[in-house]
Structures are given as C-alpha cells and as structure tokens.
Amino acid sequence: MKILLVNPPDKHFSRLAGPNQANFIHHPNAPPMGLLYLKAYLKQKTDFEVQLWNSQSPSAPGEKELRAKLLEFQPNLAGITTTTGNWYDARETARLIKSALPQCHIIVGGVHTSVYPEETLSQPEIDSIAIGEGEDTLLELALRLSRSQSPEGIPGIWFKSNGKIICNPPRQVEKNLDRFPFPDRSDFSPEQYRLSADRFSRAAIIITSRGCPFHCTFCCTIDKHYRSRSPENIVAEMLACKEQGYLAIDFYDDIFNINKNRVLKLCDEIIRQKVNLPWICRCRVTPMDEEMIAKMASAGCERIQFGVESASQRILDMIKKQITPEQVRHAFSLAKKYNILTLGYFMIGFPTETREEAQATIDFAFELDPDFAMFHCLIPVPGSEIYEQAIQSPGFFGDYGREFAKNPSPNFVWRSWSTTLTENEQFKLIRSAFLKFYFRPQYIIRSLKKLSSMEEFLAKAQTAFKILTTR
C-alpha cells in the first residue's frame, strides 16, 4: 500500500476584503501539521510506504512535478488537506491526481470538510472525506483499501458508492493525545519557518492541546472538546525539536492557557528539563494572573497573542467573548511587567456597532500599546454563528461560502458585513488605525532597537510595505 499525503498549493488562496489583507501573514513555508501527524501515525501503525508532497515548500513544485511524482510513486491512496481558503487549489490538485491515476482513492480532510461535507464530496474527483480528527480515520481507511474492502462503517468517513453519498457515523474525539507520535518533521528544514514578529528565529510549531470550549460567535472552531497533552509529553517534543536544530517554539493551540494548573505544570517541566528555548503562544486574558505569567516568563515565554476584539462591553457580551476591558488591561500590564511581548487582535464591524464603539476599540489599542496590533473588519466565516446570522440579512451576500464550496473559483474574496457602518467606513477606520499605530516615531524607534538581524529587518520592512500599499 502506497499513500501520498498532499499539501496543495496556495496560488489562489482566497483574499480578505480591503485593508484586512494587511493582517494576512500567510506562512507558505509553515509545515502542514495535520499531515505531519498523519504521516507519523501511519508509519507507526503500518508498514505502508507513506510520502508527503508539499506544494507550499520554498522550492514550490508545480503541477508538472506533482504529475511526475504520481507516475513514479503510484500511490493507491492520496490524502489532501484543505481549508476553505485554499479549496480551489485543493480541488484542482484532486483533479490532477485523478487524471494521472484514475484508480487512486482520493480523500480530503481539514476544517473545510466539516463545514461543507456534501459540497466537498460532490466533486467528482473526490472519493471520500474525513470529518474530525484524522489519525485513526485515515489508518482504518488505508487498512480497508489495502484489503480491497469498502469504507462503509468507518467512523468519521463519508464516501461515495455508485454515485450516492454514504455518511458513516461520526468519530469520537481522542481524549489521550499522548498516544499519538510526534509529527514527522523529516521532510522539513528548521530554516523554513521563522517567527518574523520576534527575532526571526527558526521555530518548530507544537500543538499541545486540541479543541476550544468557548463559543465566540465570530469563530469557526468546530471541535469544542478541549483535551491536552501531558507536560512530560510536550517537553519531550520540545527537546526533540531542539535536537533537530530548532531555536524557538510556536505553541499553536487555539488557547494555550485554558487550564491554569496545566500551564504551571508545563512551565515547571520546561524549567526542570532545562529546555532553554524561547516560545510564543495564544492566550485568553482570563484566567491570566500574575502567578501564571511570572511562571511563563521564567520558562521562556517571549510573546503572548491576546484576542481583545472590542473595547465595548456591550459588543463583548454580544459576541460571547466572556471577558471585560478591565481584564484585558490587567493581562497586558502583567505581560509588560514581566517583559513579555504582546500582540493584540482588534475587530470592528460587528452588527449594531456604532462608529463611536468602533473608534473606541481602536483607541483602546493605543491605550494598551502592545508590541504588535492586528486590526480587522469582521469577516463572517462559514461555520461561525455570526455567518449564520449574516446570511439571513438582506444586506449581506447570501450563503456565498456554500456556493464557493460547490463551485470553487480562483478569485474568491471574503466579504465583510455592513450593518451600522458601511464597508468603506470600516476600511477607512482600519487603514487609519494601521498607519497611526505602526508609523508612530516612538514605535519605529522602539522596534529598530529590538532588531537582531538583517533578516528580521527585511521581514518587518516587507510587512510595513504591505500595510502602506493595502487598500
């Protein structure tokens, strides 16, 4: 049995409307972590030949190279990962594979398939889709196909039989994440992924937990079952990455600090094992307190990314954020006290939001004065509660995400939602916020003093150019 795991290209990655595009820091060299987990698990559990094809590598192999690879390797099973953002390229990749190897079974996975399962599987080139966690689902499918058996009954699989879509029962989430092997990074160089907002360090992405129990209306996280790995397991992966030449860690959890006790134990283990690698994470402002942030700083935390969203308590309550502006102030002040860099996410354009509330959110960013700020207009994304609200509004664009899932096109653009503020008014506020925040003389001087290399300078100069030129 031969299996090819495919990360499709991002040549036609969907654009964000207006100045939102300035926030879009797409890392084409970032390893596709889902596929790396799948490859490691298949190699651990089987003797199948498993290879990875990365169309987003620095060398960026194209269609000609992929076709040659297919004819040389002759996989029986091809697994393609996709988001809605690169669904067009994923579908085109499936077409290429099926045209080269008509008998190859093609399965597609990723968040997109959970949001739009029927639309994905309706594409004639696609034989099955995986919904939810993929490790055991793909393993069971590969074992079945190796025996020329049907996928019928495999939890988490939808497939086609005689032109009819068969929906197998859902797969239960895995509670014991420690049983999965570390991602197989053998196809990637530590040089490929850099933390451009910090010291441009070559970084390993590590996922310490899965799922998010919160219900923010603007978020499309499907997995609401929070589970975490043990501190010992996480630190073992950190040490393995250090041995491979990585100089920093990007903890890529939805929320790193959901459980305070877990954070404290993990930091203690990092310190005990003398990992000595800087790391960044994404946190909620609650339950952040001084004990937690002091321990994080001692364990090497260099940057925390906080979702602030709004300065208005009315808006925060409406979007089910479950935080207050005062809690935001407290978290940012603690980070500064312990010399941890901060990045804040700020959003305007919520339904019924007034211009005064939107401006207050932008002013709040200047009051907090994080090291980095991301200003967004609300983009209702498929799978979120707010998208379902938007598509019922006569002033929106209808269920255009579903239409794109049915008929992917190369020029897809995500749309903002104009309720109280027009789209143009939102764009002007966001563009002005970016320019005023990042081009303050004191901010420029502060940033220049922190530069550690010419690479970092060039990366930040490129970001500044993007802010200046994005309309």
* Residues 279 and 162 occupy one common structural domain: no
* Residues 162 and 285 occupy one common structural domain: no
Is residue 403 a part of any domain in this protein? no
Q: What is the pLDDT of residues 1-59, one digit of tens each?
A: 999 999 999 888 776 666 666 555 545 578 999 999 999 999 999 999 999 999 987 77
The pLDDT assigned to 26 comes to 46
* Residues 30 and 158 occupy one common structural domain: yes
Mean pLDDT to the nearest integer, 362-388: 96
Is residue 234 a part of any domain in this protein? no
Mean pLDDT to the nearest integer, 403-421: 92
162's tokens: 């005689």
Residue 157: CATH number of its domain:
3.40.50.280
* Residues 325 and 441 occupy one common structural domain: yes
* Residues 125 and 44 occupy one common structural domain: yes
Mean pLDDT to the nearest integer, 76-103: 96
Mean pLDDT to the nearest integer, 198-214: 88
The pLDDT assigned to 436 comes to 95
Query: Are the C-beta atoms of 286 and 321 separated by less than 8 Å?
Result: no
**Quick count: other Cβ atoms within 10 Å of Cβ 302?**
21
Q: What is the 3-state secondary structure (H, E, C) of the chain?
A: CEEEEEECCCCCCCEECHHHHHHCCCCCCCCCHHHHHHHHHHHHHCCCEEEEEECCCCCCCCHHHHHHHHHHHCCCEEEEECCCCCHHHHHHHHHHHHHHCCCCEEEEECHHHHHCHHHHHCCCCCCEEECCCCHHHHHHHHHHHHCCCCCCCCCCEEEEECCEEEECCCCCCCCCHHHCCCCCCCCCCCCCCEECCCCCEEEEEECCEECCCCCCCCCCCCCCCCEECCHHHHHHHHHHHHHCCCCEEEECCCCCCCCHHHHHHHHHHHHHCCCCCCEEEEECCCCCCHHHHHHHHHCCEEEEEEEEECCCHHHHHHCCCCCCHHHHHHHHHHHHHCCCEEEEEEEECCCCCCHHHHHHHHHHHHHHCCCEEEEEECCCCCCCHHHHHHCCCCCCCCCHHHHHHHCCCCCCEECCCCCCCCHHHHHHHHHHHHHHHHCCHHHHHHHHHCCCCHHHHHHHHHHHHHHHHCC
Distances (CA, A) of 239 to 21, 149, 203: 36, 41, 13
Is residue 352 a part of any domain in this protein? yes
pLDDT above 80 (res 81): yes
Is residue 396 a part of any domain in this protein? no
Query: Are the C-beta atoms of 382 and 84 separated by less than 8 Å?
Result: yes
User: What confidence tier does 226 reach under pLDDT thresholds 50, 70, 90?
Assistant: very high
The pLDDT assigned to 22 comes to 56
pLDDT above 80 (res 390): yes
What mean pLDDT, rounded, does the chain reach?
92
Mean pLDDT to the nearest integer, 79-85: 95
Mean pLDDT to the nearest integer, 166-170: 97
Question: Could you tell me which of 331, 170, 150 has the C-alpha nearest to residue 256?
Answer: 331
Report strand pairing: 227-228 vs 209-210.
antiparallel
Instruction: Provide the percentage of residues in the chain whose pLDDT is more than 70.
Output: 91
The owner of tokens 């994005």 is: 470
Residues in the chain: 471
List the end-to-end C-alpha distance of the chain, in Å, as a whole number. Answer: 50
The pLDDT assigned to 469 comes to 66
Is residue 426 a part of any domain in this protein? yes
Residues 6+ apart with CB under 8 A from 96: 63, 66, 67, 70
Mean pLDDT to the nearest integer, 56-82: 92
Query: Are the C-beta atoms of 462 and 24 separated by less than 8 Å?
Result: no
What's the rounded Cα separation, in Å, for the pair 80 and 82? 7
* Residues 98 and 42 occupy one common structural domain: yes
User: What confidence tier does 467 reach under pLDDT thresholds 50, 70, 90?
Assistant: low
pLDDT above 60 (res 304): yes
Residue 432: CATH number of its domain:
3.80.30.20
Mean pLDDT to the nearest integer, 216-220: 95
The pLDDT assigned to 450 comes to 74
Is residue 398 a part of any domain in this protein? no
User: What confidence tier does 61 reach under pLDDT thresholds 50, 70, 90?
Assistant: confident
* Residues 296 and 425 occupy one common structural domain: yes
The pLDDT assigned to 56 comes to 87
- What is the CA angle 85-91-96, rounded to 5? 140
Q: What is the pLDDT of residues 94-132, one digit of tens each?
A: 999 999 999 999 999 999 999 999 999 999 999 999 999
Report how many domains make up the chain.
2
List the single range of 36-45, 133-142, 224-233, 393-402 with lowest mean pLDDT.
393-402
Instruction: Provide the percentage of residues in the chain whose pLDDT is more than 90.
Output: 81
* Residues 147 and 221 occupy one common structural domain: no
Long-range CB pairs of 438-447 (<8 Å, 24+ gap) are 438/373, 438/464, 438/467, 439/464
The pLDDT assigned to 456 comes to 66
Q: Write out the residue range of the structural domain in which residue 289 sits.
A: 195-201+214-225+253-261+274-379+416-469
User: What confidence tier does 141 reach under pLDDT thresholds 50, 70, 90?
Assistant: very high
pLDDT above 50 (res 372): yes
pLDDT above 60 (res 198): no
Report strand pairing: 164-167 vs 209-210.
unpaired
Is residue 401 a part of any domain in this protein? no
Sign of CA dihedral 106, 107, 110, 112: positive
Residues 6+ apart with CB under 8 A from 432: 362
List the single range of 283-292, 305-314, 353-362, 409-418 with lowest mean pLDDT.
409-418
User: What confidence tier does 189 reach under pLDDT thresholds 50, 70, 90?
Assistant: confident
User: What confidence tier does 193 reach under pLDDT thresholds 50, 70, 90?
Assistant: confident
User: What confidence tier does 192 reach under pLDDT thresholds 50, 70, 90?
Assistant: confident
Is residue 285 a part of any domain in this protein? yes
The pLDDT assigned to 202 comes to 87
* Residues 12 and 80 occupy one common structural domain: yes
* Residues 289 and 161 occupy one common structural domain: no
What's the rounded Cα separation, in Å, for the pair 192 and 202? 7
Q: Is the pTM of this model over 0.85?
A: yes
* Residues 120 and 221 occupy one common structural domain: no
The pLDDT assigned to 281 comes to 97
* Residues 456 and 308 occupy one common structural domain: yes
Mean pLDDT to the nearest integer, 147-172: 96
